[in-house]
Amino acid sequence: MPESVTITDNRSGESVEVPIVNGGIDGNAIKDLMPGIWVLDPGFSITASAESAITELDGANGVLRYRGYPIEQLAEHSTFLEVSYLLLNGQLPDKAEYDQWVHNVTHHTFIHENMRKRFQDSFHYDAHPMGMLVSSIAALSTFYPEAKDILDPDNRRIQINRLISKAPTLAAMAYRFSIGMPFVYPDNNMTYAENFLSMMWRVAEPTYEADPVLSKALDVLLILHADHEQNCSTTAMRVVGSSHADPFSSAAGATAALYGPRHGGANEAVIHMLNDIGSYENIPAFIESVKAGEGRLMGFGHRVYKAYDPRARIVKDHADEVFKVTGRNPLLDIALKLEEIALNDDYFKSRNLYPNVDFYTGLIYQAMNFPMDMFTVLFAIGRMPGWLAHWNESIEQGSRISRPRQLYTGPAERDYLPFDQR
C-alpha cells in the first residue's frame, strides 16, 4: 500500500499525490494544486505547525518521550536540570557537562535590584502571581537588551540560561510580595527545587532545609511539566518568537497562554471544583451537571491524549509519598471517587476523557502548602525549558513568521454612510 494520499481539485480535475512523511503531508502540495484555497482548522486540531525533534507524544497509547527517553524513566532517575539540558541539547549530558550546566543555572538566579524593588513593589497588593510572572518575565527583556540578537547561538544560550535560572526567583518573589513577606535571596548551595522552596518559605532561620521528599517530589513534578510538544503555550512561544522578538518577550507570551484555565490554570480549577463539590454525596449530582453541559470536569480530557495521561499516573504514584510527610489532603477522596465514577461512565468513556496531569498535581501542591494561585506558576517554572527548546529549535530551523490565513465570512464591500443615513 503506498504511503501517500491523492488530492483532486474537482474544478480542474487535476490531482496531486502527496507522500506521507513522519505521519503528515506537506501542505505546500495543496498550496500548489489549489492556490488561494485555504484549509480551515480552528484550534489547529489537524495542523502540524512544526517539525520537531524534541518531544514525542502518542496520545492514543498514552506515550510521552523527551528526546526519545520515556517520561517514566526520566521521572524516576533524572533531575529537572538534567531533563532541561536534554530538551535543550538533544542528548543527556556527561558528568562534566551536567556539572557545568547546574553551575551555570545556579549562578544566574539573581535578578536586578530594580526588578525586585521598584518593579515588583508597583503591583497592587492582591495581584495574581501569574499576572506578576507574565509581566516580570517580559520586564527582564528590558534588562538584557542584547537578547534581541536572536540569530547568534551563543547569545541564545545565555538568555536560555537566564530564563531557566531566574524563573523560580521571579515566581517566589511574586508569592512573597502577595503575603507581605520580605524577598529571600537565592542560595547557591541548594538544588534547583530546594532553592525555590527556600525562596518561598524561609522566615528567620539562617538556612532553610527543605524536606527531601518534598523537594524530590517538586523536582519530579517539574520534569513532568518540562515539555509537551505543540501545546497552547509552546505554540504561543513559537508564534511570538517567529517574529524574532527577544526570548523574554516570547516567554512572557507563552506564560500568558499558560495562565488560562483550559491550559495551565486547570490545576487551580480542579481544587476549586473539588471544594465546590465538598463531599462524597454531592459527586453524582456534580457528574450529572457536567454531562448536562453545565460545566467541565476539570483535570479531565486532553486534546491529544485519548488514553490515561502518563504524567497523571506518575503524579498519582508520588502523591502517597508526599502525603506521608504533609498529611493526607482531604480532597483526595473526592478526587479518587470522581475518577472512579468518570472512568466507568459512558459520557466520559465515549469521549475518551481521562485524568490529565492537572487532576492530581493541585492536591500535591496544596498539601505542600502552595496557595492555589501559585499552582500555574509552578507549571510555568517547569515548562520553561520546553518553551525555550522549541523557540531555539524554530530559530535553528529558520522558521518563517507564523501567519495563518482566514476564511472571510463578513459583509461584502459596502459604502460608508454618515450618521443620519444609517
* Residues classed as catalytic: 263, 302, 358
- Binding of ligand CMC by 190 (CB under 6 A): no
- 270 vs 367, which CB is nearer to ligand CMC? 270
Q: Which residue has the cell 490545576?
A: 267
Residue window 86-105: x/- pattern of binding to ligand CMC, with contact defined by CB under 6 A: --------------------
Q: Give the phi and the psi of residue 4 in degrees, each rounded to 5.
A: -160, 165
Q: How many residues bind ligand CMC (CB under 6 A)?
A: 20
DSSP 419: G
- Binding of ligand CMC by 314 (CB under 6 A): no
Q: What is the dihedral of CA 216, 221, 224, 227, to 10 degrees?
A: -110
- Binding of ligand CMC by 157 (CB under 6 A): no
- Binding of ligand CMC by 174 (CB under 6 A): no
Cell of 59: 496520545
What DSSP line would sit under 85-129, residue for residue?
HHHHHSS---HHHHHHHHHHHHTT----HHIIIIIGGGS-TT--H
Looking at 112, 296, 306, 328, which residue binds ligand CMC (CB under 6 A)?
296
HSE value, Cβ hemisphere, 13 Å, CA-based, for 385: 26
Query: Under a CB-based contact definition with an 8 Å cutoff, are residues 186 and 110 in contact?
Result: yes
- 47 vs 89, which CB is nearer to ligand CMC? 47
- Binding of ligand CMC by 376 (CB under 6 A): no
What DSSP line would sit under 248-268, residue for residue?
HHHHHHHHHHHHSTTTTTHHH
- Of 216-235, binders to ligand CMC (CB under 6 A) are 228, 231
Residue window 355-374: x/- pattern of binding to ligand CMC, with contact defined by CB under 6 A: -xxx----------------
Query: Under a CB-based contact definition with an 8 Å cutoff, are residues 168 and 111 in contact?
Result: no
**Shortest distance (Å) from residue 218 CB to ligand CMC:** 18
Q: Give the phi and the psi of residue 21 in degrees, each rounded to 5.
A: -120, 130
**Shortest distance (Å) from residue 246 CB to ligand CMC:** 25
- 186 vs 264, which CB is nearer to ligand CMC? 264
- Binding of ligand CMC by 290 (CB under 6 A): yes
- Residue 280 neighbours by CB distance under 10 Å: 11
DSSP 372: G
* Closest listed residue to residue 231, CA positions, set 76, 357, 100, 122: 357
What is the bridge-based pairing of β-strands 55-58 and 14-19?
unpaired
Query: Under a CB-based contact definition with an 8 Å cutoff, are residues 169 and 199 in contact?
Result: yes
- 293 vs 327, which CB is nearer to ligand CMC? 293
- Binding of ligand CMC by 405 (CB under 6 A): no
- Of 263-282, binders to ligand CMC (CB under 6 A) are 263-264, 266
**Shortest distance (Å) from residue 274 CB to ligand CMC:** 13
- Residue 42 neighbours by CB distance under 10 Å: 9
Radius of gyration of the chain (CA): 23
Looking at 351, 369, 397, 405, which residue binds ligand CMC (CB under 6 A)?
351
The span of 71-79, 148-156, 201-209, 300-308 binding ligand CMC (CB under 6 A) equals 300-308
Which residues does 24 contact at the CB level (< 8 Å), separation at least 6?
48
What is the bridge-based pairing of β-strands 63-66 and 69-70?
antiparallel
- Binding of ligand CMC by 150 (CB under 6 A): no
Cα distances from 37 to residues 6, 9, 29, 165, 281, in angstroms, run 17, 10, 12, 46, 54
- 54 vs 105, which CB is nearer to ligand CMC? 54
Q: Which residue has the cell 459604502?
A: 415
**Shortest distance (Å) from residue 23 CB to ligand CMC:** 19
- 166 vs 316, which CB is nearer to ligand CMC? 316
- Binding of ligand CMC by 316 (CB under 6 A): no
- 242 vs 356, which CB is nearer to ligand CMC? 356
- Binding of ligand CMC by 66 (CB under 6 A): no
**Shortest distance (Å) from residue 238 CB to ligand CMC:** 16
- Binding of ligand CMC by 286 (CB under 6 A): no
- Binding of ligand CMC by 262 (CB under 6 A): yes
* Closest residue to ligand CMC using C-beta atoms: 301
DSSP 398: T
- Binding of ligand CMC by 328 (CB under 6 A): no
Which residues of this protein are in contact with ligand CMC, per CB under 6 A?
228, 231, 262-264, 266, 290, 296-303, 351, 353, 356-358
